[in-house]
Amino acid sequence: MPKNIRYTLLSLRDILVSAGPFALLALGLLVLAYWWLDPNPPKHVTLATGPAQSAYAEFGKRYAERMARQGIELRLIPSEGSSENLTWLREGKVDLGFVQGGSGETGSSGAAGESGLESLGSLFVEPVWLFYRTESARKVSPDATLNMLPQLKGLRVNVGTTGSGVPSLMDKLFEANHVDPAGIRISRLSQTPATVAFLGGELDALVFASAPESLMVQMLLQTPGVKLMDFAQSEAYARRFAFLTPVTLPRGVVDLAENVPAQDVHLIASTTTLLAAEHVHPAVLQLLSQASLELHGSSGWFNRAREFPNTANTEFTVAPEAERTIKGGVPLMQRYLPFSLANLMERMWLALGIIIAVLLPLSRIVPPLYEFRIRSRVFRWYGQLREIEERVGSANEGSEDLLQELNQLESRVEKISVPLSYTDELYALRNHIELVRHRLQRA
């Protein structure tokens, strides 16, 4: 091997050995930071949606498609609706769930936050859709038009299953209107059986609380002989109930050509949020929040573009990842790098900064340690050389014996290899050996 290459490799080896403890410490800190931050999200999470063909179910499929692009399986768990989703979240049966405003036991964000749930912001509004048959309305109204809840007395009304959250909402509305539920023939069928019974004439009215994307809502809005109740007191409802907001279904928004609906319809609505359990990985929350920008950011029947998602009108604490995404959009690195790499860098950069701040002072030890390691190859022979020199002139030792020891020392020194920058010290040692030899010869 050429000498230049040999000396270079020797120097590199010494550098690596000297910096070894420092490198091991840095690696240990990185492993500890990686374990503590846990930057990689799990491969699957569960989402409680709602009944088949509901808006929750449709949005769940769209979220699952977008999460699959990042290699995460979003398992959709059908449910009866908002109330059941909230119960499952509190019991730890699912990781995520769509929850309607007003479903919680409290309206204060602080108290609701104690349950260990975080919100990804308000995603869309869910109007209360009260559909009624025109022929049934004639029994209580001469013009076959219903616009107040007391007009439902004596009619057959389906308010949905208990798990949907609509029955408890309707109980509050009936109480506010001084309507005794016993005076209404209430049923609690799920959406599909209730719709079949309604179209078959077995029910007079249906109550849904769903986004307009629901297939049932879309179909009933265009069914002949079926009308949508206009909540003429929508503003008053919003003032009485903090989780409700007045919305208007514009004239012709369903079908411009057929002018459906024929006039503006006033409705009351609650906002829906996506709740997450506290153990859900922050990267999953970030991905879901980014998907919500795409799914709910466009204009709709009840909102303008980029009005949703937002951090208003939510009963639960908004997750920091969701708040950053809603306000700032997709992070810069994720726009140009794969999510896995960008997520790792975003979550590790602070830890890397702390590690660098700790290691920088310690790194000053490496050059002195390297220098000590190289010079010790030379200096450790000075002890033996000094001992030989001190024995010169001793009556108990002959010069021949000392010369033999000195020659053995010199042969060992000649085999020492040091980087070129330290050869002056090696030659200095050899000169000192020669000085001792001359002294022995004179003696």
Condensed to tens digits (0 to 9), the pLDDT of residues 13-52 reads 667 776 777 788 777 877 776 676 666 788 899 999 988 8
Percent of the chain predicted with pLDDT > 90: 40
What number is the average pLDDT over the span 296-315?
85
More confident residue, 424 or 344: 424
* The pLDDT value given to residue 112: 45
CA 106/CA 114 separation, integer angstroms: 11
> What residues does each domain of the chain span?
99-330, 367-442
CATH number of 99-330: 3.40.190.10
CA 169/CA 194 separation, integer angstroms: 18
* The pLDDT value given to residue 362: 73
What number is the average pLDDT over the span 294-318?
87
* Paired residues of 150 in beta bridges: none
pLDDT band at 268 (very low <50, low <70, confident <90, very high): very high
What number is the average pLDDT over the span 430-435?
88
* The pLDDT value given to residue 2: 61
| SS3 call for 196 | helix
Residues 152-173: tens digit of each pLDDT = 999 999 998 887 888 888 999 9
* The pLDDT value given to residue 13: 67
pLDDT band at 404 (very low <50, low <70, confident <90, very high): confident
pLDDT band at 11 (very low <50, low <70, confident <90, very high): low
Residue of 267, 72, 79 whose CA lies nearest to 160: 79
What number is the average pLDDT over the span 305-323?
87
- Going from the C-alpha of 342 to that of each of 40, 179, 297, 333, 438, the distances in angstroms are 11, 57, 24, 6, 70
Percent of the chain predicted with pLDDT > 70: 89
Q: Is the pLDDT of residue 219 over 80?
A: yes
Calculate the CA 95 to chain-centre distance.
Answer: 12
Residue 184: both structure tokens together: 């209404």
- CB-side neighbour CA atoms (13 Å) of 277: 18
Residues 6+ positions from 428 with CB-CB distance below 8 Å = 378
* The pLDDT value given to residue 106: 42
| pLDDT-wise least confident of 209-218, 245-254, 396-405, 418-427 | 396-405
Q: Is the pLDDT of residue 222 over 80?
A: yes
More confident residue, 256 or 422: 256
CA dihedral for 426, 432, 435, 439, sign (positive or negative): negative
Residue 251: both structure tokens together: 């004239």
What number is the average pLDDT over the span 119-145?
91
DSSP state of 42: P
For the chain, the maximum distance between any two Cα atoms, rounded to a whole number of angstroms, is 140
pLDDT band at 110 (very low <50, low <70, confident <90, very high): very low
Residue 204: both structure tokens together: 């007079």
More confident residue, 26 or 443: 26
Q: Is the pLDDT of residue 392 over 80?
A: no
Give φ, ψ of 172 to 5 degrees: -65, -40
* The pLDDT value given to residue 301: 86
Cβ atoms within 10 A of the Cβ of 424, count?
11
Q: Is the pLDDT of residue 271 over 60?
A: yes
* The pLDDT value given to residue 289: 94
